[in-house]
Chain A
Amino acid sequence: MGKFYTASVVYKWTWEQVAQVFWMRYPNPYSKHVLTEDVLARRVSGNCLYTRRLLTKTNPVPRWGERFIPGPRNVCIVEESIIDSSGHTITTYTRNIAMHHVMSVEEKCVYRVNPENSKWTLCEKSAWVSSAVFGFGAAIQAFGLDRFKKNATKATRGFEYILEKWFPHPQPVHSTDKLKDKARKVAEAAKAKASPIMSARPQPS
């Protein structure tokens, strides 16, 4: 029994924009663990582009896991994808091939027009993490899932970085930054009001 995980991400760009930069998403500042990418097979059938790629990534393991995974610890990933230009979907399926006997991670992502806002793109992810290492399977799976989530966040940030670079939003200021800015101004105003009172307080002799 492995672990199953789902998540959805909304990219605030149109499906066409997401598709335009799909093959250009590496390198980005969040993809330092991705070392190489190569196309292994590619064909067009109808309106669909089928691609299979080989990616290699660094794969640091925790100390207790080193006994299962002798170095070098770079991992090979196969990424299959189908891009449907008329149906407006991108489907990817990613799996590790090196160290598969220790831990297997498979991920499926479907990018489509966000049903709630056609100017945005919805990406739905499913992931399966499993390990058959006797006695350590559960610990390896928990570690694998945790790293999968961290890498998934990096992948999203990286993709957004590339999207913003190619298709900048008119106001690139993030809402959280705006809030922080507002909070800072409020704090400064409060301080300015408070200081005369503070200085008027009698000093202890």
Chain B
Amino acid sequence: MNSVGEECQELKKAYDECFNKWFSERFLKGVTDDSCADHFRVYQECVKKAIKEKKLDLWELEKDVLGTEREQKVPPGSGK
């Protein structure tokens, strides 16, 4: 898949390859070390710059919702 920043394409590809291997061969088997940190750092620098240039709402992008009070609630009486 493409990156939002065209210039980040190669960095994303390298990171994704490293991550996918780590995820299936280590994380899912219970090993939680992080071996793709270097790839991640350079890819992140590029993406953050691209987001700034595109003037996307960084505050919204950095907000956590899952697992917080900000999650939507299931309405009462919907059977859940």
Verify that A and B bind, or say they do not.
Answer: yes
Residues of A within 8 A of B (CB): 4, 6, 16, 19-20, 23-24, 26-27, 34-42, 44, 46-47, 49, 52, 54, 56, 76, 78, 80-83, 85-86, 91-93, 95, 97-98, 100, 106, 108, 126, 128
A146 to chain B, nearest CB (A): 19
Contact partners of A93 in chain B: CB under 8 A: 65-66, 71
The total number of A-B Cβ pairs within 8 Å is 101
Taking Cβ atoms with an 8 Å cutoff, the residues of B that contact A are 1-5, 8, 12, 15-16, 19-20, 23-24, 27-30, 32, 34, 40, 43-44, 47, 51, 56-57, 60-67, 71-72, 74-75, 78, 80
19 further A-B pairs in the complex, CB-CB below 8 A; given A36-B1, A56-B4, A126-B72: A23-B16, A26-B1, A35-B2, A36-B3, A37-B2, A37-B3, A38-B5, A38-B8, A39-B40, A44-B32, A44-B34, A52-B61, A52-B62, A54-B4, A54-B61, A76-B56, A76-B57, A76-B61, A95-B65
Interface SS, A side? strand
Quote the shortest CB–CB distance from B55 to chain A (angstroms): 11
With A27-B1, A78-B61 as known contacts, state yes or no: A38 contacts B72, CB within 8 Å: no
Instruction: Contact check, B12 vs A106: say whether CB atoms are below 8 A apart.
Output: no
Contacts of A27 in B (CB 8 A): 1
Give the CA-CA distance A80 to B29 in the complex, in Å.
22
How many angstroms from the CA of A95 to the CA of B72 in the assembled complex?
A: 11
Report Cα–Cα, A21/B80, bound state, in Å.
29
B16 to nearest A CB, angstroms? 8
Q: Chain A's nearest CB lies how many Å from the CB of B77? A: 10
In angstroms, Cα B57 to Cα A128, docked, is 21
Residues of A within 8 A of B1 (CB): 26-27, 34, 36-37
Contact check, A91 vs B2: say whether CB atoms are below 8 A apart: no
Asked whether, in the complex, the Cβ of A38 is within 8 Å of the Cβ of B30, the reply is no
Name 27 interchain pairs, CB-CB below 8 A, sorted by A: A4-B78, A20-B24, A26-B1, A36-B4, A37-B1, A37-B2, A37-B3, A38-B5, A38-B47, A39-B15, A42-B40, A44-B32, A47-B32, A49-B23, A54-B47, A76-B56, A76-B61, A82-B66, A82-B67, A83-B27, A91-B66, A93-B71, A97-B56, A106-B65, A108-B71, A126-B74, A128-B72
